[in-house]
Amino acid sequence: MEKKNIRRNVLAIDIGASSGRAVIGTFDGNVIDFSEIHRFSNDPVTVNGTIYWDILRLTHEIKQSLRIAAATADIDSVAVDTWGVDFGALDKNGNLMGNPVHYRDARTVGTLKKAFDLKGRDEFYEITGVQFMEINTVFQLMALKEREPDFTDNIDCVLMIPDLFSYFLCGAKIAEISSASTMQLLDARTKTWSKVLMDRLGLSPKIFPQLVKSGTEIGKLSGKICDELSVKPMKVIAVAGHDTQSAMAAAPAKGDDFLFLSCGTWSLLGTEMDAPLLDAKTLELNLTNEIGFGDKISFLKNIVGLWLLQESRRHWSGEGREYSFAELDRMAEQADQFACFIDPDDAVFSPPGDMPRRIKEYCMKTGQRKPRSEGEIVRCINESLAMKYRATADKISECTGRRYATLHMLGGGTKSEALCRMTADACGVSVLAGPVEATILGNIAVQLIALGEIENLSRAREIIGNSSEIVVYEPLQADTWERAYAKFREVTA
C-alpha cells in the first residue's frame, strides 16, 4: 500500500531591523509552501538619548502570530530568527532587566580602542576571527559595564535577541551558536566561549549560557502561553537565530565554490567554508568567520546595505514625498550612470537621520558632482553598493585563493532588478537572485531538519531551489564597470 504523505506545518517568525513577519511553512515531502499570516513593524524608541528596541511590543506580536497560526493550521513547531549582536539581560529571578539597546546607539563609540588596550588587536582577532565593529556585543557589554557597573553586576544571564524570544516562549536559557558567533566572544576554532577573552575584558563567564547548535529542539511552548492564547503545545526550535545564517541555509547552491550575498538592511557577502580562516591577511582585511547551520563557516564581510535607501526613503516620506521602492528604481534608471559614488561603510552613514543630505555632502567633500534629485541619489546608492560588493568579492578571493563564477543573491535586495544587474556587472559573475524570502525559508527548512522531515542541509537546499523562483543575471557591461571601478576606488580611498 502506498504511504500517504503527512503534511508538516511549522511557524517561522523572522524579525528584521524595521519589520517582522510570521509565516506558516508547509512541507509535503517534496515541496515547501509558505504563507504569511502576520506582519508588524519594528520601531526603535529613543528615550533620553538612548535608542531601544521595543522588545515587549515585539513579544506581543509574536504571541499574536501564535494565535493566528493556531487558528489556521496544526502547528508542529515554532522558531524565531532576528538580527545579530544585540542582547537582553536577565536578573537572578529570570526577569528582563530593561529594554535591549539598539546597535545604532552611540554608547559603544570609542570602545574598540579600549578593548585593544586590554587585549591586543591581533590576539583578539586570532581568538574570535570576527570583523571588528563597535556594534558587536562584546563592545556593547564593555560600554555597559563602564557606564552602569551596578546594572552589569546584577546580570544573571545574557541572551541574544532570538534566544531571548525563545526564552519567553519556553523558558530555556541557551545561546544558539549562529547568534552567539556575532558577539565576538567565541573561540572560532573550538566553537566555545573564550574565557581567556572574557577574563581579560572583565566579563563574567557565568552570565553566558550553554551553547547549542542551530536546529536544536530546546523545549515546548509554556503552559502559561498555551492557556493565555488558547493554543496547543508545540516544539520550540533554536534555528539559525541570526537571520543571515537562516538565509544561508536557504542558498540553493549545488557546489562548494560560490559567493553569497544576503542583501537587506545589511549586506553580508562571502563564501561558505568547513573551517575558519584566520591569518594576517584576513585580519588586515577585517573579515569575519560566522558559524552557521551544520557548523559551516560563513567567511564574510558585513557591509551597510539597503539601510542607505531605507533611510533616504524615510526622510522623503517625512517631507511628504512618498515613493515605493519600485518607483525609486525607475527614477534611478533615468539618472546618469557613474555620476558619483559613496563608500557605504563610511561612519557618516551609520546613524539614522537625513541620509540624502549626508550623501550630497560626501560627494561634494570628495570633489564629485552633488546628486540633485531622488533618482540621482538612488542611482548613487545602488552603484556604490554594487562597487562595494566587487571590492569585497576581491578580498574574499584574495584570502581563499579561489575565483568564483557564481554569486547567490538572497533576500529583499533581489526585488531590485537594477541592483541585481549592477552586481553582476560590477563583480563580473553570474548572479542567481533568489529566493527573496531566503531567511524565512531557511528558518522553515532548519525546523523541518530538526523534526526529522528533511535529511540534511544539502537536501534542504535542493528542495528550496525546486520550490523557489531563481532569476539569473549575467554580466553584460563588465568592461564599462571595470573602468568605473577605478573612480570608485579613488573617491572611497
Using N-to-C axis directions, what is the helix angle for 478-492 and 374-400, rounded to 10°? 90
Which of 238, 266, 287 finishes a domain?
Answer: 238
Tell me the three state secondary structure of residue 181: coil
Q: Do 196 and 263 share a domain, yes or no?
A: no
475: confidence class by pLDDT, cuts 50, 70, 90 = very high
Q: What are the tens digits of pLDDT across the range 325-348?
A: 999 999 999 999 999 999 999 999
* 356 found inside a domain: yes
Q: Specify whether the CB–CB gap between 473 and 406 falls below 8 A.
A: no
* 244 found inside a domain: no
Which of 238, 269, 302 finishes a domain?
Answer: 238
In the predicted structure, residue 1 carries a pLDDT above the cut 60: no
**Which residue is listed with cell 522553515?**
444
Strand partners for 52: 45, 101
Residues catalogued as catalytic:
243
Q: What are the tens digits of pLDDT across the range 198-240?
A: 999 999 999 999 999 999 999 999 999 999 999 999 999 999 9
Question: Grid coordinates representing 459?
Answer: 537536501
Q: What are the tens digits of pLDDT across the range 447-469?
A: 999 999 999 999 999 999 988 88
Q: Do 228 and 272 share a domain, yes or no?
A: no
CB-CB neighbours of 240 under 10 Å: 34
Q: Specify whether the CB–CB gap between 240 and 246 falls below 8 A.
A: yes
Q: Where are the alpha helices (DSSP H) in 319-373?
A: 325-333, 355-365
Q: Specify whether the CB–CB gap between 467 and 32 falls below 8 A.
A: yes
262 φ/ψ angles, rounded to the nearest 5 degrees: -90, 110
Which of 182, 203, 238 finishes a domain?
Answer: 238
Q: What is the residue range of 362's domain?
A: 251-434+455-493
* 443 found inside a domain: no
Q: What angle do CA 290, 138, 87 make, to 5 degrees?
A: 85
Q: Do 86 and 152 share a domain, yes or no?
A: yes
Distance from chain centroid for Cα 362: 26
* Percent of all residues in the chain with a pLDDT value above 70, rounded to a whole number: 99
Question: Grid coordinates representing 76?
Answer: 508542529
* Percent of all residues in the chain with a pLDDT value above 90, rounded to a whole number: 92
In the predicted structure, residue 90 carries a pLDDT above the cut 60: yes
Q: Do 225 and 266 share a domain, yes or no?
A: no
* 243 found inside a domain: no
**Global model pTM greater than 0.85:** yes
> What is the average pLDDT score of the chain?
95
Who wins on pLDDT, 469 or 481? 481
Which CATH number does the domain housing residue 56 bear? 3.30.420.40
Q: Do 228 and 276 share a domain, yes or no?
A: no
Q: What is the total count of domains within the chain? A: 2
What is the rounded distance in angstroms from the CA atom of residue 73 to the CA atom of residue 365? 57
Q: Do 479 and 335 share a domain, yes or no?
A: yes
Q: Do 54 and 78 share a domain, yes or no?
A: yes
Q: Specify whether the CB–CB gap between 325 and 308 falls below 8 A.
A: no
Q: Do 280 and 319 share a domain, yes or no?
A: yes
5: confidence class by pLDDT, cuts 50, 70, 90 = low
* 2 found inside a domain: no
Q: What is the pLDDT of residue 206?
A: 96
